[in-house]
Structures are given as structure tokens and as C-alpha cells.
Amino acid sequence: MILIQTVEKLNEVLVRLRSNGKTIGFVPTMGAIHDGHIALIKKAKSENQVAVLSIFVNSLQFNNPDDLEKYPRDLEKDLLLVENYVDIVFAPSHKEIYPTEATEKYDFGELETVMEGVSRPGHFNGVAIVVKRLFDFVQPNKAYFGEKDFQQLTIIRKLVEQLKLDVTITACPTVREPNGLAMSSRNLRLSFAKRNIAAKVYGIIKRSQELETPVVKKIVDFVQTEVKKLEPIKLDYFAIVDGNTLQLVEFLNDTENIVACVAFYIGDVRLIDMVRFK
């Protein structure tokens, strides 16, 4: 494993590898590495000759300055966790990614006007800016993202389609802690007790899948009612949507691709998750 911190050095190394016919698998992260990231890296390595991991906390995608300040950062620990799985770690400074002010504006239509787009206005433009720049720097054959961030995954696919980028986006299943809580860098900010409480949201959604009704409103009402019983959790949204358009559906038989997306706060920590219904 080699650590690279400048775009110039990254380009020098990757040009040499590509000239030797090596394929590049890429996993972009904001650090605070966990088993979900490791699963993405292993997938990238299994399908490519070279696996590249980026670690960069992208300030443009944070709506809350306090959330940005509290985001876990420990590069030394991250490097120890990934050293046996990845070939290159790209950990640039803010100036390397943004030598000048970022002014790009992307339009993803209805994909960004729901769920996270409502709760975090401007978030996906910040995501798109950094992902496009990282794709330009790494020029991967394939890039790997977790399904937990389902709306982000959908929007990145749209970005690739709109800009006709030569990269294949591969989605990987959500990796969960033993109690069912989706792996997240923000879990590091939770006590053991709060992690167990947060995991109950996933349990409620799984129970909602067993309801004998195709009526989405009944399922949503069940989840909202059950989550309200959990302290100190506050539900931001729970939505059952078309997995292609991210628009709300009324019945589970409306389409063949249906997912449930949820966002909630436990204390001041905001978590998201998703579960496939079909």
C-alpha cells in the first residue's frame, strides 16, 4: 500500500499502472473506515488489478457546520485498517481538491427534490462536485458505493449518465453491525447503548415488510408509530419509493423496484438506512 497526498503524484503513479494494462477499482470515502468500507475495497480488489481508496472529508456536502466539525478523522488509524486490502490510498488536502472556489452546479431533477434533498439542500451538488473531481483524478474503470446511501448512489449513476463518464458504478449491499445497525462512520459518535437503540429502527422496518398489505400508507404509518416509541430517536423521514426514480409509490405492486429509505436523529447524530421491499 502506498499513501499519496497530491494530485500530481497520483497521476504519475496511475499513468504508469494504466500503461501496463492495469484496471483501476476506486472506493471514495470520507475516512472513519469501518467494515462496510472494507467490503467495498475487497470487491474493488476482486474485480480489478489495482484498488484505490480515497479519504477526503468533503466540506461542500455538509449543511451543518457542527456536523462537519464533529466528523471523525483519524488517518493513521484508517491506514492501519486498510493496509492489507488496498494498493493506493489517496488522502489529499482541501487545497488539492479545491485549489480555487468550486462553482459547479448540477441538476438531477426530481432525484434530488425528495428525502435527503429536502432535509439537506445543496448536499447532492456538493457530493457531485467532489465525486466528479475524484473520478477525473483517478480515472477508474469501476467505482464502488454502498447501497445504504441509496439516494446518493442513484444520483451518482445519474451524474455518470449525464456527463457520459467512462466508469462503471457498482453497488454493494449494506454491511451491518451484529445488532442490525447499518455500518456508518457516524456510529463512532454513539455510545453502545445508543447504537442498540438506533438498531431498533432497522428492526421496525423489517417488521413492516411482514405486514400483509400492499398499501404503502399503512406501512409508513406503522413505522412512524413504532419509531415514535423509541427515545431519544426522532424520525426525519421514512419513505417507500420507486428505486429508479426515487418518487413515492402508493402500492407495493406499482413497480418491480421498491426501496424504503429512512433518516433519523439519535441525539445530535443523524443516521440513514435503506431496505429493499422488492
What separation, in Å, do the N-terminal and C-terminal C-alpha atoms of the chain show? 39
User: CA-based diameter of the chain, in Å?
Assistant: 58
Residue 202, all three cell numbers: 432497522
**CA–CA distance, 78 with 83 (Å, rounded to integer):** 9
Residue 216, all three cell numbers: 404503502
- Which ranges constitute the DSSP H helices of the chain? 7-19, 35-47, 65-70, 75-82, 94-97, 116-119, 123-138, 150-163, 192-208, 216-228
DSSP state of 238: E
Catalytic positions, written as ranges: 37
Residue 4, all three cell numbers: 499519496
What residues pair up with 15 in beta bridges, in sequence order?
Answer: none
> What are the φ and ψ backbone dihedral angles of 251, each rounded to 5 degrees?
-135, 150
